[in-house]
Amino acid sequence: MRLFEYEAKEAFRQAGLPLPPSGIATTPDEAAKVARELACPVVVKAQVLTGGRGKAGGIKFAKNPAETKTKAAEILKMTIHGHPVQRVLVEKRLDIQQEIYVGITIDRDRRRPVVICSTMGGVDIEQVADEHPEKIARFWTDPVLGLRDFEARQIAKNAGFEGRAMLHVAGFLLRLWQVFIKNDAELTEINPLIVTKDGTYIAADARLNVDDNSLFRHKALAERLSKGISEQTELEQRAQEHGMTYVELQGNIGIIGNGAGLVMATMDAVKYYGGSPANFLDVGGGATHDRMRNALEIVISHPDVEAVFINILGGITRCDEMARGIVDAQKTLPRQVPIVIRMIGTREKEGAEILEAANIPFLNSMDAAAKRVVEHSKEGVK
Amino acid sequence: MTILVDKTTQVLVQGITGREGQFHAQAMREYGTKIVAGTTPGKGGQEIEGMPVFDSVVEAKEQFPKINASIIFVPARFAADAATEAIDAGLQVVTVITEHIPVHDEMRFIELARRQGSYIIGPNTPGIITPGECKLGIMPAHVFKQGRVGLISRSGTLTYEVAASLTNAGFGQSTAIGLGGDPIVGMSFVNALKLFEEDKGTDATVIIGEIGGSAEEEAAAYIKKHVTKSVIAYIAGRTAPKGKRMGHAGAIVSGKTGTADGKITALRKAGATVIERPIDVDEALQKIL
């Protein structure tokens, strides 16, 4: 899950990273009050769970409290990439001498955290990597040992920092490492890390994405998610609450399956036969009949869905459970659409009996089922 | 000949008293896997259908020194500890079925396994099966048949899909391995390709990849340099949009990396036959073998 900038900054503060003085505001008046307390000039920043807010106009400067109020009012009215702005962070504006990049993420192929450092901060780091690869220092840390002090100094040196600057940057890397470990981060970065005209080092921005699988160790974040505050859509959240993954797409065929690979292959098969998936729902391994019923309800809640393809290949998942879920769902579904079922694997016979007793047809071949659901989806369009 | 597990493999089931552990321990034993014991801390001394339960891996090994593989059904928050315990006890093959393990935990125990020389299969894997000899996993056994095709996959259910196609067409499997659907997994395509290349019982290998990461590109580079046997590849998610996680945490196209096109091109250049649908696997094999 992605954290708001102000949440990330709280985590940074706890790790001892220096930050600009700031306050959070939900109304223009509150923003003006924060600006008075901080002494202007300030910068007003939209708090949204999406990138590119700067380009979208979600970051504005203000010289005095009155201007802060106007700018905050403008930003609080905005919706950035589908995310309505509900809060702004008002921060004291810094006199910038230099902008630096430091970040830590996970390199899946090397199975290790990678620490990244560059003298070119303040811009998209991927762009720097493309255009000036020599300006980026990378270091793959041992996940058991963690980042050691001498390694942090070497990374800073490799990025081009010397003397006192090297020591300062190394200090930031080590504290950022603490943030990374303590918060089970998938990604954490400071971009830019600012050196002010009087030589102070300050984390001007903060980014922190926390591994969803670790939320049992991060109760406050789990609680925020449970209130529905996240980067996900409503249906994605509903699916997650039931332990399933839901992805929204552009077409008119709902797809349910057990196992991400199978659902992806199902999506590819639907496209192969000329159809277009509206969404994608993976019920996961060992799903119960309740989960399948919820899955159907979620998929059909998407208004574009005109036919549903359920592809079950039982392993840890049992066909009889899935069949029972489908039969249950038929009684409670908000609307009727053609459902094509393909079902084989563990407890296939028992599952077949349940479906046959309820007069629900099913197939054994994924390709035959894909063809049929595409036909249904086209009838709907007529 | 097979890779990693065979009829001599002696298996410990970690988390044997849980619902899934119990169900699959029995299913594996019925298949013919030598399940010698299980562990659940605090339940040492009990028995599950005649299989003895121990408090720890070390205690199980004291009683049954020939245990050389384990399979983990422990809940996500305790799974890293279970894996570390198995690695520490010197087990050669540690299969982690558990899904939703925090990625920081995964990085640590996978690194420990690398140092100790243990193979981690998974996490979030259906496991590994050598048909007719040893099933160390949760896969439906009836779709697999003894034979000479190696199978390596990042997806559980797709493995069954392709195995069923192979079996129906008369191509049995030497060993089938699920690598697991997480962004960080222990065994890679490259590790498994190397073992199949060395295995006299394998004539060709089928790899089932998916979008995200660059494991397939690394496999392609390895195939080009070191693999003489035929390789057939299927990549799931070629119609997936950018930036969305397609179910598996690992299945995401981010920026320029992880696309199906990039993987398909790399594999074709390395001489692999890339198929468009899982059912095309028999036709492709018939041309090769």
Q: Taking Cα atoms as reference points, which of B165, B162, B135, B140 lies closest to residue B151?
A: B162
Q: What percent of chain B has pLDDT over 70?
A: 97
User: What does the alpha-carbon distance between residue A226 and residue A223 come to, in Å, rounded to a whole number?
Assistant: 5
Q: Taking Cα atoms as reference points, which of A13, A75, A15, A18 lies closest to residue A43?
A: A75
- Per DSSP, the three-state class of A201 is strand
Q: Which of A351-355, B182-186, B253-257, B268-272 has the lowest mean pLDDT?
A: B253-257
User: What does the alpha-carbon distance between residue A233 and residue A248 come to, in Å, rounded to a whole number?
Assistant: 9
Q: Contact A113/B107 with Cβ under 8 angstroms? A: yes
Asked whether residue B63 falls in the same domain as residue B194, the answer is no
Position B17 scores a pLDDT of 97
Whether B143 is in a domain gets the answer yes
How do residues B121-168 score in pLDDT, each as one tens digit?
Answer: 999 999 999 999 999 999 988 889 999 999 999 988 899 989 989 999
Q: Which amino acid, residue B150?
A: G
Asked whether residue B67 falls in the same domain as residue B101, the answer is yes
> What pLDDT band is residue B255 in, cutting at 50, 70 and 90?
low
Q: In degrees to the nearest 10, what's the CA dihedral of B270, B276, B282, B283? A: -80
Q: With a cut of 90, say whether residue A123 has pLDDT above it.
A: no
Whether B3 is in a domain gets the answer no
A interface test, pick of B81, B104, B111, B115 with most A CB neighbours within 10 Å: B104
Backbone angles phi, psi at A3, to 5 degrees: -95, 150
Whether B1 is in a domain gets the answer no
CB atoms within 10 A of CB B261: 11
How do residues A2-38 score in pLDDT, each as one tens digit?
Answer: 999 999 999 999 999 999 999 999 999 999 999 999 9
Position A196 scores a pLDDT of 97
Tell me if chain B has a CB within 8 Å of the CB of A13. Answer: no
Whether B31 is in a domain gets the answer yes
- Strands (DSSP E) contained in A239-306 are 245-248, 253-257, 277-282
Three-state DSSP string of A328-345: HHHHHCCCCCCEEEEEEE
Asked whether residue B104 falls in the same domain as residue B171, the answer is no
User: What does the alpha-carbon distance between residue A366 and residue B178 come to, in Å, rounded to a whole number?
Assistant: 21
Position A284 scores a pLDDT of 85
User: What does the alpha-carbon distance between residue A259 and residue B160 come to, in Å, rounded to a whole number?
Assistant: 11
Position B178 scores a pLDDT of 96
Q: With a cut of 60, say whether residue B20 has pLDDT above it.
A: yes
How do residues A262-318 score in pLDDT, each as one tens digit?
Answer: 999 999 999 999 999 999 999 988 889 999 999 999 999 999 999 999 999 987 788
Q: Do B246 and A263 touch (CB under 8 A)?
A: yes
Asked whether residue B171 falls in the same domain as residue B283, the answer is yes
Residue A138 distance to chain B (closest CA, Å): 18
Q: Contact A78/A58 with Cβ under 8 angstroms? A: yes
Average pLDDT over residues B249-258: 68
Q: With a cut of 80, say whether residue A228 has pLDDT above it.
A: no
Domain end point (choices B95, B121, B147): B121
Whether B129 is in a domain gets the answer no
Ordered strands of the A245-248 beta sheet: A245-248, A277-282, A253-257, A307-314, A339-345
> What pLDDT band is residue B256 in, cutting at 50, 70 and 90?
low
Which residues of chain B from 5 to 64 reach within 8 Å of chain A, CB to CB?
A: 20, 24
Alpha-carbon A113 to chain mean position: 19
A-to-B residue pairs, Cβ atoms closer than 8 angstroms: 159
Whether B168 is in a domain gets the answer yes
Q: Are strands A112-118 and A201-203 parallel, antiparallel or unpaired?
A: unpaired
Asked whether residue B47 falls in the same domain as residue B143, the answer is no
Residues 6+ apart with CB under 8 A from B79: B72, B96, B98, B101, B105, B123
Whether B2 is in a domain gets the answer no
Domain end point (choices B87, B121, B155): B121
Asked whether residue B26 falls in the same domain as residue B116, the answer is yes
The mean predicted confidence, pLDDT, of chain A is 93
User: What does the alpha-carbon distance between residue A89 and residue A309 come to, in Å, rounded to a whole number?
Assistant: 45
Position A199 scores a pLDDT of 95
Q: Do A144 and B104 touch (CB under 8 A)?
A: no
- Per DSSP, the three-state class of B235 is strand
For position B76, which CATH number holds?
A: 3.40.50.720
Asked whether residue B147 falls in the same domain as residue B266, the answer is yes
A interface test, pick of B157, B187, B252 with most A CB neighbours within 10 Å: B157
Q: With a cut of 50, say whether residue A227 has pLDDT above it.
A: yes
Residue B270 distance to chain A (closest CA, Å): 19
Asked whether residue B159 falls in the same domain as residue B100, the answer is no
Q: Contact A248/A276 with Cβ under 8 angstroms? A: no
Which residues of chain B from 142 to 161 reach within 8 Å of chain A, CB to CB?
A: 143, 153-161
How do residues A316-347 score in pLDDT, each as one tens digit?
Answer: 788 999 999 999 998 888 888 999 999 998 89
Which of the 8 DSSP states describes residue B14? E
Q: Domains plus CATH for chain A?
A: 1-20+95-230 (3.30.470.20), 21-93 (3.30.1490.20), 234-376 (3.40.50.261)
B interface test, pick of A264, A313, A344 with most B CB neighbours within 10 Å: A264
Chain B residues whose CB is inside 8 A of the A342 CB are none
- The parent domain of residue B170 ranges over 139-288
Chain B residues whose CB is inside 8 A of the A286 CB are 20
Tally of domains in chain B: 2
Out of A212, A271, A285, closest to residue B239 by CB: A271
- Strands (DSSP E) contained in B165-225 are 173-178, 204-210
Whether B163 is in a domain gets the answer yes
User: What does the alpha-carbon distance between residue A305 and residue A250 come to, in Å, rounded to a whole number?
Assistant: 10
User: What does the alpha-carbon distance between residue A351 and residue A361 come to, in Å, rounded to a whole number?
Assistant: 12
Q: Are strands A185-196 and A201-203 parallel, antiparallel or unpaired?
A: antiparallel
Asked whether residue B49 falls in the same domain as residue B150, the answer is no
- Using the structure block, give the residue that is written with the tokens 């997480």: B182
User: What does the alpha-carbon distance between residue A355 and residue B236 come to, in Å, rounded to a whole number?
Assistant: 29
Q: A49-81 burial, b for 16+ CB within 10 Å, e for fewer?
A: beeebeebebbbebeebebbbebbbbbbebebe
Position B249 scores a pLDDT of 62
| pLDDT: which is higher, A172 or A331 | A172
Position B1 scores a pLDDT of 56
Asked whether residue B159 falls in the same domain as residue B30, the answer is no
Q: With a cut of 50, say whether residue A66 has pLDDT above it.
A: yes
- Class of residue A272 by CB neighbours under 10 A (exposed 0-12, middle 13-18, buried 19+): middle
Domain end point (choices B92, B121, B150): B121
Q: Contact B86/B26 with Cβ under 8 angstroms? A: no
Residues 6+ apart with CB under 8 A from B23: none
Which of the 8 DSSP states describes residue A314? E
Asked whether residue B151 falls in the same domain as residue B189, the answer is yes
User: What does the alpha-carbon distance between residue B44 and residue B53 come to, in Å, rounded to a whole number?
Assistant: 5
Q: Taking Cα atoms as reference points, which of A106, A134, A140 lies closest to residue A120?
A: A134
Out of A142, A264, A346, closest to residue B236 by CB: A264
Position A382 scores a pLDDT of 45
Position A96 scores a pLDDT of 95
Asked whether residue B176 falls in the same domain as residue B41, the answer is no
Q: Do B107 and A143 touch (CB under 8 A)?
A: yes
- Per DSSP, the three-state class of B149 is strand
For position B166, which CATH number holds?
A: 3.40.50.261
